[in-house]
């Protein structure tokens, strides 16, 4: 999306900008998405998506490419219309509201700044193009833009052009422009995707501070699990146009409700096992792992590299042969081959743990999830 299209939405937000502006918006929006379906021709993009977002909440739409998260964001913005379903803003049918009436601010990955305008003019653009009856004076627009520059920690750069700014600075200007129209809903589409890793980390911390100051209801799209877990009050995990799980970062990381969620969020390894009479069997050997909630039959054991303990009781443990050793910050990552089929898994041990290639290692996961093999076919 180019700069003008983004600004058309950002400038269309309803309500006259107050002369006495405060940094915290006191009426954040409540959003209710009900059974939204979106198809493009015969291709489904969303399959009956439902989601409720509380006022002032910071929600991440997390999923791989093609999961439908950007389509859902565009529907919230009014840039797309669902084939079926409802979208409610504070109890009003948002699908009957124009873009002008929705009062949303948009920030996109490519910044969408006007190259021929300086920073101050970029921020104030959405206010300057409003109808005369709702347009603040030039002096008030300038004052508002300078206040926002201070809020996004870019005071003193108002006369610079986008080409004279770093990527992180340009993205802060994009945030300031979206906030200038005082939206009740802030929508962010991969806002840090074009930035390098260190700048992304810095801006994530900055965005969290900004959200805490302004209190906007915020929805952001990302495929970066670390970003979603660090920033969001709740994470909506999406796959192939469906919502797989909604929960706090702790919920979706520690208690994933499907193989997809377990494998997509955080690092994981998978072993084919069998469940018999509430016990887990690997290669005809029972493991010291209970399986009380999984039916008898083939299953998949999901575990995370850092959630393991090396043990001496080889008879009830998973045993693997070391194939790769590598340092990972203050830890050591170990690749193992397990069983006759030599399934490859990864575990994490202290850096000073003594190991050699081809050494046997016996371990048990502290936390794990079992899923019937039929449920885990796509893993």
pLDDT in tens, 64-81: 999 999 999 999 999 999
Per-residue pLDDT for 20 more than 50? no
Whole-model pTM: value is 0.85
Domains of the chain: 3-260 (3.40.50.300), 267-372 (2.40.50.140)
Per the listing, tokens 């859902």 go with: 72
pLDDT of residue 14: 40
When mean pLDDT is compared across 7-11, 115-119, 215-219, the lowest value belongs to 7-11
Q: Tell which residue, 248, 254, 229, 284, has the closest CA to residue 366.
A: 254
What's the length of the chain? 379
3-state SS of 134-150 is HCCCHHHHHHHHHHHHH
**Spatial contact of 99 and 77, defined as CB atoms under 8 Å apart:** yes
Q: Work out the pLDDT band at 1, boundaries 50, 70, 90.
A: very low
Q: Following DSSP, what letter does each residue of 12-28 receive, concatenated?
A: ---SPPPSS--SS-S-P
When mean pLDDT is compared across 13-17, 147-151, 185-189, 280-284, the lowest value belongs to 13-17
Share of the chain above pLDDT 90, in %: 57
The mean of the pLDDT values for the chain is: 88
For residues 252-281, average pLDDT: 93
Per-residue pLDDT for 118 more than 90? yes
Per-residue pLDDT for 379 more than 80? no
φ, ψ dihedrals at 253, nearest 5°: -85, -45
**Spatial contact of 55 and 29, defined as CB atoms under 8 Å apart:** yes
Interstrand relation of 217-222 and 185-189 (parallel, antiparallel or unpaired) = parallel
When mean pLDDT is compared across 78-87, 177-186, 360-369, the lowest value belongs to 177-186
Per the listing, tokens 């004076």 go with: 137
Highest mean predicted confidence (pLDDT) among 80-89, 134-143, 154-163: 80-89
pLDDT of residue 13: 44
Show the DSSP H helices in the chain as ranges: 3-11, 69-77, 99-102, 119-128, 138-151, 167-180, 197-214, 225-231, 249-254, 259-264
Q: Work out the pLDDT band at 26, boundaries 50, 70, 90.
A: low
Q: Tell which residue, 286, 297, 319, 302, has the closest CA to residue 373.
A: 297
Interstrand relation of 234-239 and 242-247 (parallel, antiparallel or unpaired) = antiparallel
When mean pLDDT is compared across 24-28, 260-264, 288-292, 351-355, the lowest value belongs to 24-28
Distance (Å, rounded) from C-alpha 181 to C-alpha 7? 10
Q: Following DSSP, what letter does each residue of 47-95 receive, concatenated?
A: EEEEEEE-TT-EEEEE--TTSSHHHHHHHHHTSS--SEEEEEETTEEGG
Distance (Å, rounded) from C-alpha 8 to C-alpha 5? 5
Per-residue pLDDT for 315 more than 90? no
**CA angle (26 as vertex; 24, 27 as ends), nearest 5:** 130
- What helix, strand, coil percent values describe the chain, rounded to 5? 30, 35, 35
For residues 130-141, average pLDDT: 86
Per-residue pLDDT for 86 more than 70? yes
Per-residue pLDDT for 199 more than 60? yes
Distance (Å, rounded) from C-alpha 92 to C-alpha 141? 30
Q: For the chain, give me the number of helices (H) and strands (E)?
A: 10, 20
**Residue 357: strand, helix, or coil:** coil
pLDDT of residue 349: 93
Highest mean predicted confidence (pLDDT) among 186-190, 214-218, 241-245, 293-297: 241-245
Per the listing, tokens 């494998």 go with: 263
Q: Work out the pLDDT band at 378, boundaries 50, 70, 90.
A: low
Per the listing, tokens 């998260």 go with: 69
């Amino acid at each position: 999306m180019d700069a003008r299209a983004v600004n058309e939405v950002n400038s269309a937000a309803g309500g006259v900008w107050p002369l006495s502006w405060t940094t915290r918006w006191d009426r954040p929006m409540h959003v209710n998405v009900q059974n939204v379906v979106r198809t493009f021709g015969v291709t489904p993009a969303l399959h009956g998506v439902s989601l409720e977002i509380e006022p002032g909440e910071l929600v991440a739409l997390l999923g791989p490419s093609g999961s439908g998260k950007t389509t859902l964001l565009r529907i919230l913005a009014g840039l797309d219309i669902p084939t079926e379903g409802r979208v409610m803003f504070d109890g009003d049918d948002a699908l009957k509201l124009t873009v002008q009436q929705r009062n949303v601010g948009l920030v996109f990955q490519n910044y969408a700044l006007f190259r021929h305008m300086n920073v101050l003019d970029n921020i104030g653009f959405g206010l300057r193009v409003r109808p005369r009856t709702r347009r603040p004076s030039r002096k008030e627009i300038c004052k508002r833009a300078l206040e926002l520059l201070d809020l996004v920690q870019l005071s003193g750069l108002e006369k610079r052009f986008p080409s004279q700014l770093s990527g992180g600075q340009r993205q802060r200007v994009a945030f300031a422009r979206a906030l200038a129209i005082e939206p009740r809903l802030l929508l962010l589409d991969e806002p840090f995707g074009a930035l390098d890793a260190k700048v992304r980390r810095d801006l994530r911390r900055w965005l969290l501070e900004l959200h805490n100051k302004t209190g906007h209801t915020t929805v952001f799209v990302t495929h970066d699990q670390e970003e979603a877990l660090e920033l969001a009050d709740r994470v909506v995990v999406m796959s192939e146009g469906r919502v797989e799980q909604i929960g706090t970062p702790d919920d979706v990381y520690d208690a994933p409700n499907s193989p997809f969620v377990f494998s997509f969020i955080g690092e994981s390894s998978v072993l084919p096992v069998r469940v018999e009479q509430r016990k887990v069997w690997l290669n005809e050997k029972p493991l010291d792992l209970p399986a009380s909630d999984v039916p008898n039959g083939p299953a998949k054991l999901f575990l995370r590299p850092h959630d393991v303990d090396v043990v001496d009781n080889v008879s009830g443990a998973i045993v693997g042969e070391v194939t790769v050793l590598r340092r990972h910050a203050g830890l050591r990552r170990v690749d193992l081959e397990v069983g006759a089929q030599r399934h490859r898994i990864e575990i994490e041990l202290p850096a000073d743990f003594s190991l050699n290639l081809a050494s046997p290692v016996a371990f048990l996961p502290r936390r794990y999830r079992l899923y019937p093999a039929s449920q885990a076919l796509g893993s």
